[in-house]
């Protein structure tokens, strides 16, 4: 695990119970460890979240994703041979159980900064399908690196590893202006389908009034025809003729 400040300040540390660190290795303790380092960077070195790139490898991806999911303004995150969760390393379970640890699969979508995933295709400890699924679940995706033939602890010897990592860090230097300009491009782009939708909707709304108009016209025309061809009118005319006939004959008193 490492924290980098514009490639100048780098802090590495061992988790509790690992390396030269004392204490017990546990999920809770590793979260406390990364929080302690994060607090040290903020309070003693004056580092801002926007200057931080978190780097987590293997099990260390758990505390890294956990902190990143709780810190919205990080510059970036690198996940080196990461795990979906502790239980999924041992068994291909399809759901997350309450007793599982390092539930990266459930937290990665809450990471708001760019995430680079690096994994070896020949990893026998953590299958590289873990890295692939995490890369797909990232909210802000960056081109992942799948090192052909790479194992779990030897990716650093491959030239593509350093090359791609450097490319990612350099892209983060441009990420801040890009994020401000991205919405400007996105704003016109998003309304395009929406703009078309209202037009089609409006045209449909314009068509609907026409239908009643036609129906009313046809009804009026039928009424007019019915008035013209009304049988009572003929009967009244015939009655008038009968009256005139009766008067002429002297039959009406």
Per-residue pLDDT, 249: 54
The answer on pLDDT for 78 being more than 60 is yes
Locus of tokens 């760019």? 114
230 pLDDT exceeds 90? no
The confidence score (pLDDT) of residue 246 equals 54
Burial status of residue 153 (CB atoms within 10 A of its CB: 0-12, 13-18, 19 or more): middle
User: Of residues 64 and 226, which shows the higher confidence score?
Assistant: 64
Task: Spell out the domain ranges in the chain.
Answer: 2-187, 191-249
Q: Are 78 and 116 in contact (CB under 8 A)?
A: yes
Q: How far apart are CA 225 and CA 211, in angstroms?
A: 21
User: Where in the sequence numbering do the catalytic residues fall?
Assistant: 58, 123, 152
Confidence of residue 199 (pLDDT cuts 50, 70, 90): very low
- Give ∠ CA 198-203-207 in degrees, rounded to 5: 145
Least confident of 85-94, 128-137, 200-209: 200-209
Residue 105 has pLDDT above 90, yes or no: yes
| CATH 3.40.50.1820 matches 2-187 | yes
- Is a pLDDT exceeding 70 seen at residue 232? no
pLDDT bucket at 153, cuts 50 / 70 / 90:
very high
- Regarding beta strands 52-57 and 2-5, do their DSSP bridges make them parallel or antiparallel, or are they unpaired? antiparallel
pLDDT at 81: 98
Name the more confident of 167 and 200: 167
β-bridge pairing 52-57 and 9-12: unpaired
| Nearest C-alpha neighbor of 11 from the set 54, 50, 43 | 54
What tens digit of pLDDT does each residue of 114-150 get? 999 999 999 999 999 999 999 999 999 999 999 999 9
Q: Greater confidence, 146 or 210?
A: 146
Lowest mean pLDDT among 82-91, 104-113, 136-145, 228-237: 228-237
Measured distance CA(57)–CA(63) in Å, rounded:
10
Tens of pLDDT, residue by residue over 11-66, are 888 889 888 889 999 999 999 999 999 999 999 999 999 999 999 999 999 999 99
Q: If residue 209 lies in a helix (H) or strand (E), which one and from where to where?
A: helix 191-228
The pLDDT of residue 19 is: 86
DSSP secondary structure letter of residue 12: E
- 210-216: average pLDDT: 41
Q: DSSP letters along 92-155, please?
A: --SS--TT----HHHHGGG--S-EEEEEETT-SSS-HHHHHHHHHH-SSB---EEETT--SS-G
Q: What is the pLDDT of residue 241?
A: 58
- Arithmetic mean of pLDDT over the chain: 77
Does the pLDDT value for residue 223 go beyond 80? no
| Higher pLDDT pick, 50 / 10 | 50
d(CA 145, CA 157) in angstroms, rounded, equals 14
pTM: 0.67
């Amino acid at each position: 695990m490492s924290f980098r400040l514009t490639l100048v300040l780098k802090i590495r540390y061992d988790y509790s119970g690992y390396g030269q660190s004392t204490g017990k290795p546990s999920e809770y303790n590793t979260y406390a460890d990364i929080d302690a380092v994060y607090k040290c960077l903020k309070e003693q070195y004056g580092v801002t979240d926007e200057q931080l790139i978190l780097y987590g490898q293997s099990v260390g991806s758990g505390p890294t994703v956990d902190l990143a999911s709780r810190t919205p303004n990080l510059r970036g995150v690198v996940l080196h041979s990461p795990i979906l969760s502790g239980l999924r390393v041992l068994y291909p379970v399809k759901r997350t159980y309450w007793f599982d640890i390092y539930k990266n699969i459930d937290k990665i979508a809450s990471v708001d900064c760019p995430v680079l995933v690096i994994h070896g295709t020949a990893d026998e400890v953590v299958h590289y399908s873990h890295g692939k699924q995490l890369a797909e679940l990232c909210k802000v995706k960056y081109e992942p690196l799948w090192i052909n033939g790479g194992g779990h602890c030897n990716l650093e010897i491959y030239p593509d590893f350093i090359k791609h990592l450097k490319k990612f860090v350099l892209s983060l230097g441009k990420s801040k202006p890009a994020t401000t300009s991205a919405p400007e491009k996105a704003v016109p782009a998003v309304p395009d389908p929406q703009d078309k939708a209202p037009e089609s909707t409006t045209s449909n709304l314009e068509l609907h009034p026409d239908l009643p108009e036609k129906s009313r016209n046809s009804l009026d025309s039928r009424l007019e025809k019915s008035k013209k061809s009304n049988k009572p009118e003929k009967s009244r005319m015939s009655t008038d003729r009968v009256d005139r006939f009766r008067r002429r004959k002297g039959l009406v008193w």
